[in-house]
Structure 1
Amino acid sequence: MNDRLSRKDWLKHGLRALVVGGPGTLKADVLAKQLGVSRGSFYWHFRNLADFHDALLAYWQTTSTQAVIEGLTADVPQKDRLFVLVQRALSADTSLERAMRLWAANAPAVASVLAEVDRERINYLGSLLTEHDVSTSDAVERAKLIYWTYLGRMDVAAKDQMNVSDQTLAAFVAAMQD
């Protein structure tokens, strides 16, 4: 690899490094070595490690939440958005989500961003439910249940217990919308 990495290249690699090696790998020298470049390339894009961490969190928040919401809004009919979102969330690779939550356990700044992401996701789920005439107070409570289902799925160790049929998923979503 050459020294002409973009800021986005560093951020993408940072997320991969977090998944593979944990937050201890989010250091300029470690990342540069993994990428086969000098640390100067890192410092060309980031003032310091804290700046990189802030940028990494912002990039993760944008790609894992805001871009997902924007994509659903643009590509999925309103009536199908909740089902599609739940279906995608429950079949997605959760390794990055798990790594972020582990990092947040020992890093208050990360925990703060994670709490913001959780609120944003729950609020969006709630808005999808209110589009199906669920009262605002019920929508918030049901959104939490849906989100907790997603979070709980990350802790299921047996791969054969990870999936449910689309029929079961549709019944779950319908129950949340009723």
Structure 2
Amino acid sequence: MTETLTGNTKVTRDDWLRAAMDALLSGGAERVKILTLAERLGVSRSSFYWYFHSRQDLMDALLDHWLATNTRLLVEAAKTDAPTITAAVCNVFACFIDPTQFDTQLDFAVRDWAKRTVKVHDVLMQSDDQRIAALTGMFTRYGYGAGESLIRARVLYYMQIGYNDADLHEPLAARMAAIPDYLLTFTGRVAPEAEIKAYRARMLQIMPRA
């Protein structure tokens, strides 16, 4: 990832990936073009081939990055030990909220890309299945039946994706006030007050970075 080119070229593989990621986020997959990226980096187009075999190789690397960050970290959050199901759901909420764990803009860029590319669509479907399976397992660990666990996982996951897509700009105070009701709705259980206070404190640490 960090090997530097020899000669006068100073960019690394990471530089190419960052430039490609910026293009993906700002204009979609169609904007990820080798010549455009080379001009942005101030290097020759041929230097691209020190690190990638083709544009497709670069696009695959972007997709791998998305899987290794958004999907992996959300799955890990769902599997994190917690004393109650409401605390477990708080871990999932925190993952979605924290941009250092879950990049919402990247997630939507990949979803848009998937509308135009069959391979990406297939990877997206597999990723969604992995995420929902992890959330289903989370509910199952706390005593919910198999069918109920799956439906609660779907409701939690698709609500969060839809919430992000709606871009509501909900005031932080309103979001915090709604936490107990969200937890009750998603789990059917009342969260302990100490748990809610701990999560609100956690949100205050995360939200300024969001």
Superposition TM-score tier, normalisation by shorter sequence: 0.7 to 0.9
Does the C-alpha gap of structure 1 residues 90 and 67 become closer, same or farther in structure 2, counting only changes over 3 Å? closer
Paired positions, count:
175
Q: 1:95 to 1:34 in 2, by over 3 A?
A: same
User: By how many angstroms is 1:30 displaced?
Assistant: 1.5
CA deviation map 1:31-80 (0-9, x unaligned): 2222222223321111111111112111111111113434675xx54233
Q: Give the match for residue 121 of structure 2.
A: 111
Unaligned stretches of 5+ in structure 2? 1-7, 189-210
162 and 104 in structure 1: CA distance in 2 versus 1, 3 angstrom threshold: farther
1:111-137 Cα offsets, whole Å, 9 max, x none, are 111111111111111111112211121
Instruction: Report whether the alignment pairs 1:151 with 2:148.
Output: no
Larger radius of gyration: 2
- Assess if the C-alpha contact under 8 Å between 2:78 and 2:134 holds in 1: no
Q: Which residue in the other structure is 2:93 paired with?
A: 86
Question: Sequence identity of aligned pairs in percent?
Answer: 29
Structure 1: gaps (5+ residues)? none
Contact 1:126 1:142 in 2 (8 A): yes
Deviates more, 1:88-97 or 1:12-21: 88-97
Which SS does the other structure have where 1:154 is aligned?
helix
Between 1:155-164 and 1:116-125, the stretch displaced more is 155-164
Change (3 A) 1:36 1:145: same
Structure 1 Cα separation of the partners of residues 157 and 26 of structure 2: 25
Deviation at 1:157, TM superposition (A): 4.3
Per-residue Cα deviation, 1:85-124 (whole angstroms, up to 9, x for no partner): 1243156562211111111111111111111111111111
Say whether the 8 Å CA contact 2:9–2:47 is kept in structure 1.
yes
Say what the alpha-carbon RMSD is for the aligned residues.
Answer: 2.6
Judge conservation of contact 1:72–1:81 (CA < 8 Å) in 2.
yes
Determine if the alignment matches structure 1 residue 139 to structure 2 residue 149.
yes
Moved over 4 A (4+): 90-93, 161-164
* AA in 2 matched with 1:6: T
Distance 2:43 2:78 in 1: 37
Task: State which of 49, 53, 78 in structure 2 corresponds to 1:47.
Answer: 53
Residues 88, 71 of structure 1: CA spacing in aligned structure 2 closer, same or farther, 3 A cutoff? closer
| Structure-1-length-normalised TM-score | 0.83
SS in 2 for 1:5: coil
Change (3 A) 1:50 1:70: same
Greater Cα offset, 152-161 or 112-121? 152-161
Q: Distance in 2 between matches of 1:70 and 1:50?
A: 29
Give me the TM-score of the superposition, normalised by structure 2: 0.71
* Segment of structure 1 superposing worse, 10-19 or 117-126: 10-19
